[in-house]
Amino acid sequence: MNKIFLIIWREYFERIRKKSFLVMSILGPVLVAGGFALMIWLSNQDKTEQKVLVVDESMAFYKNIPDNDFIRFYFPDVKLQQAIKDFYKNDYTCILYIPYNIAQSGNAPVKLFYKKTPGFAVSQYLRDVMERKLYEFKLAANNINPDVIRNARQSIHVVNEKIYENGDSKESKTDAMSFIGFACGVLIFVFLTIYGAQVMRSVMEEKTNRVVEIIVSSVRPFQLMIGKIIGIALVGVTQFAIWLILSSVLTTAVSATLLKKITADANKQIEQKEIIYKQGSNTNIKELQKADSRLEAIEIINDLKGLDFTEIILCFFIYFVGGYLFYSALFAAIGSAIDSESDTQQFIMPITLPLVVAYMMSISVMQNPEGSIAFWGSMIPFTSPVVMLVRLPLGVPLWQVCTSVVLLIAGFILTTWLAGRIYRTGILMYGKKVSWKEMIKWISYKG
């Protein structure tokens, strides 16, 4: 055991002393907090990006299209041909042409001319506003008061609440938990790939430099493999802990600074939203759009604050370590069997493919966390580190979690045994192109 501890010590301190480790340990949380800050900053920008000249031949929308945070509408008395002719002589960015028969014919096209592509948000806003105004116009034309229909509207807040067998119930924040679960699954996918590849490169480097011949004269190949796997695992755990602490501090600082104004306006916007729906077309539509866009983000952020991150982090740690041990043994076996980086391609794909499949399955799991794909994906050791992390925040029975962990441990023991038998032969073999058939033979060798 002392020899294994020495190998672990060497692998661990050799890597944490590298500048690349220190840079990535600090840069990772900075990028996370920076991305979070950028998202909040962009959502708070009130810049006018588009100036739209409206040529309305129908007169149904004349001075009746409300501005929003990034679009301003202008209604000069000008014909379409003249507007197009003078387009580049003024500062308008778009021309909105509404034909005279827009209300009579649903096939009459509304055209948007532009200098630079305005983007999806502009087209979507125009479509939504014009459809609503045209709807009100047709109701009024048929002597139906639009206010009667409009006042019947009421926003609905759906609360997901799970009932347990003992009769207790608990509110489930589905949107926030889905986001957290998917993010954890992606992190597991990235970590397993990065640190598993580090094990393979470390083994391959020592084999190529012939250093391993000296090392195995003092320790058994299996001890060397286990020492490398655990040593690099500790590096990953250390980096994850640094990321967790720094990310928490930085994102908390960003939230307190940039979300202060949004949070202060949240309660006002909740009250205004109901009033806006009932006041109809004479109300300030700009405030309605702002309330809808910001309240959704505020609700998600508040839901995230209410989650039990201790449980999530603990499960993440368990599945990171279990998944890493499962896959790193396979990566170590591959590293011992090849001599150069160019030979890795034929062996890496079968190992990383289950992780890619698990990542693809996680999208389906978010839609149906109780389905058969979610269940079996969270049980099979090849996919469980990713899929179970997506399911856990959404609620998983304890027996399924325990079964999944036991199967993952059993899978790690099996892969370690198989990898050890490949490792003991491949680590001292040079100059030979190895195939899968050859590696299977190494497993059956006695001694």
- pLDDT tens, residue by residue, 102-142: 766 656 788 889 888 777 778 888 888 888 888 877 777 77
Any domain includes 229: yes
Any domain includes 102: yes
pLDDT at residue 1, as a whole number: 66
Domains: count for the chain: 2
332 and 402 assigned to the same domain: yes
327 and 367 assigned to the same domain: yes
pLDDT at residue 43, as a whole number: 58
108 and 236 assigned to the same domain: no
Any domain includes 274: no
Residue 39's pLDDT band, with cuts at 50, 70 and 90, is low
Please give the residue that has the higher pLDDT: either 291 or 367: 367
What's the sign of the alpha-carbon dihedral 196, 197, 201, 204?
Answer: positive
Any domain includes 349: yes
Any domain includes 290: no
pLDDT in tens, 145-186: 777 776 666 666 666 666 766 766 665 666 666 677 777 778
385: its two tokens: 């580190």
Lowest-confidence pick of 156-170, 320-334, 351-365:
156-170
pTM of the full structure: 0.63
Any domain includes 112: yes
202: its two tokens: 């470390």
Q: What is the mean pLDDT of the chain?
A: 76
Any domain includes 272: no
pLDDT in tens, 393-435: 777 888 888 999 999 999 888 888 888 888 777 777 766 677 7
90 and 214 assigned to the same domain: no
Mean pLDDT of 334-340: 77
Residue matched to tokens 């001694």: 447
Contact, 50 vs 72, CB < 8 A?
yes
Range of the domain at 54: 50-145
Any domain includes 172: no
Please give the residue that has the higher pLDDT: either 294 or 206: 206
Tell me which residue of 196, 426, 428, 191 sits closest to 331, measured CA to CA.
Answer: 196
Tell me which residue of 301, 270, 305, 302 sits closest to 288, measured CA to CA.
Answer: 270
Distance CA 303, CA 108 (A): 45
Residue 282's pLDDT band, with cuts at 50, 70 and 90, is very low
Residue 284's pLDDT band, with cuts at 50, 70 and 90, is very low
12 and 112 assigned to the same domain: no
Lowest-confidence pick of 113-117, 212-216, 230-234:
212-216
DSSP 8-state secondary structure symbol assigned to residue 166: T
210 and 335 assigned to the same domain: yes
225 and 104 assigned to the same domain: no
- In percent, the amount of the chain with pLDDT more than 70 equals 74
Burial of 239 (0-12, 13-18, 19+ CB in 10 A): buried
331 and 422 assigned to the same domain: yes
Q: For residue 170, what is the enclosing H or E element? A: strand 169-172
- Decide if pLDDT at 440 tops 90: no
pLDDT at residue 70, as a whole number: 76
Strand 71-74 and strand 94-98: the pairing is: unpaired
58 and 30 assigned to the same domain: no
212 and 340 assigned to the same domain: yes
Q: Which amino acid is at 46?
A: D
The CATH number of the domain holding residue 72 is 3.40.190.10
Residue 281's pLDDT band, with cuts at 50, 70 and 90, is very low
121 and 194 assigned to the same domain: no
SS3 106: coil
89 and 20 assigned to the same domain: no
What's the sign of the alpha-carbon dihedral 26, 27, 30, 31?
Answer: negative
Mean pLDDT of 55-73: 83
129: its two tokens: 């506003």
Distance CA 416, CA 328 (A): 9
Mean pLDDT of 63-70: 80
Residue 315 CB coordination number (10 Å): 18
